[in-house]
Amino acid sequence: MRRITLATIILSLAFLGAGCFGGQEATVPPVTLQYWRVDDPPEAVAKVIAGYRQAHPNVKIEVRSFRAEEYENELLEALAENRGPDIFSLPNVWLTGWRNKLLPLPEKTYVVSQTVDPAKKKVVVANVETKSITVRQINEDFVEAVPSDIIMLTVPEKKDERPTEAIWGLPFSLDTLALFYNEDLLRQADITKPPGTWKEVQDQVKRLTVLNEEGGIEQSGAAIGLAGNVRHAADLMTAIMIQNGTEMADSRGYVHFQSYTVDTRDRSYPPGIETLMFYQAFARRGMSTFTWDTDQPDSMDAFIAGKTAFYFGFPYDRNQIRERSPRLNFQVASLPQVDPTDTKNLAHYNVEVVSKRTAHPNEAWDFIQFAASQDNVKDFLSATGRPTALRSLISEQLTDPDATVFTGQVLTAKTWYRGSDWSAVETAFSSMIETYPTVERPDYQPIIQTAANRINDTIK
């Protein structure tokens, strides 16, 4: 992934010094990088950091982990007060909106490296120039979903500057949405395997849902149909839309999920509206697939309590569920498909980026490239059970029972949002999902059009 130019390695003994083996240490300027992350504990990157410090003992990397619900506010406040981190994780859907706060990957990095020369028994200190990974390598090395997210034009700061293509971050993994299922509840309903299609989801939900005499839900078949108490509702809705032939957005980023496509003009409704009707049916009393309502708790809480058989989540959800309920008998299966012969999945993952205000851009980017490389990112993937974003590691991960489902989906994973405010997207989807046609306005088109308009307002 990275190339060190040997001809440009300069031994800086006059300025940095050379320490004797076992004697006085070489004089190297210390560097401390603040690194903020979300969804994973600091231990997730501990081994990667230790590996980097073997060659760069002068670089100290301090990691802080945050809960997802507090992360954005903490970041914005810290950056505004000039106390923000040098490196931090961003969800891929935030990247466009945060671009003016980030420093793109330079063509080369210059960092101090220390190695031991066993023959001379000395610590050799050098300034090392390293060529960065290129746009071409990004397209070759990473799965399809990644390049369109992390490769964007620069934002000119002067009138005579032209925007150029740049790399704005690198992922360590690529999370995909999957189906979590309670094995005990499926067994009790005589269901031998989880659903592979959405038609099978409908059929199994009918068998798994238990209503009381008043029509209330005693046991839910699946946590789906609403937004307020369904985690990842926007992602789940998007995934089904994509599978159903919806064009989420055009090349400029403006959404079209409210419209027909050339291939879907023979349908009664645009594929986006079909998906909305399908999704809502799981939470509409009187429908045969009714299985969820506003009286249900948070979807993860319901799954952990054994109150719903199906939960839709990402790899980090699995870790939370295991931590909160070690005895829960659950497994993870691939996301159900509309058409099993045309598999499509949804990617939602973190990208490691560098703050525009960092005092140590070389060390920050050098570390990210080190950590994201094939040989070193394995430590992160092993510690977290996350699926790889690198094509070269897919085959190896498919032999890991803990990663095989999520990894098996990375080559068919899609992303779509290129706007500046993902929270506005989630709000628009939530409102759309929980708005129904009325006698006065019986058409679904205004409902989905309103959501599209709100999202398009975030496209710049």
- Specify the DSSP element, H or E, that contains 62: strand 59-66
Instruction: Report DSSP state, residue 287.
Output: S
Packed helices 46-55 and 361-372: angle between N→C axes, nearest 10 degrees = 120
Task: Say what the pTM is.
Answer: 0.90
On the question of a common fold for 3-174+349-397 and 178-346+419-456, the answer reads: yes
Tokens encoding 262: 């050339």
Q: In CATH, what class is 178-346+419-456?
A: alpha beta
Local confidence pLDDT in tens for the 460 residues of the chain: 655 443 333 333 333 444 333 434 456 889 999 999 998 999 999 999 999 999 899 999 999 999 999 999 999 999 999 999 999 999 999 999 999 999 999 999 999 887 767 776 677 788 889 999 999 999 999 999 999 999 999 988 788 888 999 999 999 999 999 999 999 999 999 999 999 999 999 999 999 999 999 999 999 999 999 999 999 999 999 999 999 999 999 999 999 999 999 999 999 999 999 999 999 999 999 999 999 999 999 999 999 999 999 999 999 999 999 999 999 999 999 999 999 999 999 999 999 999 999 999 999 999 999 999 999 999 999 999 999 999 999 999 999 998 999 999 999 999 999 999 999 999 999 999 999 999 888 899 999 999 999 999 999 7
Q: What is the pLDDT of residues 404-432, one digit of tens each?
A: 999 999 999 999 999 999 999 999 999 99
**Cα–Cα distance between 54 and 116 in angstroms, integer?**
10
- Domain borders along the chain are 3-174+349-397, 178-346+419-456
Q: What is the pLDDT of residues 141-176, one digit of tens each?
A: 999 999 999 999 998 878 888 899 999 999 999 999
3-state SS assignment for residue 218 = strand
What DSSP assignment string belongs to 109-124? EEEEEEEEETTTTEEE
- How far is residue 218 from each of residues 291, 308, 350, measured CA to CA in Å? 10, 9, 37
Say if domain 3-174+349-397 classifies as CATH 3.40.190.10.
yes
Residues constituting the chain? 460
Write the Ramachandran bin of 364: left for phi over 0, alpha for psi from -120 to 50, otherwise beta. Answer: alpha
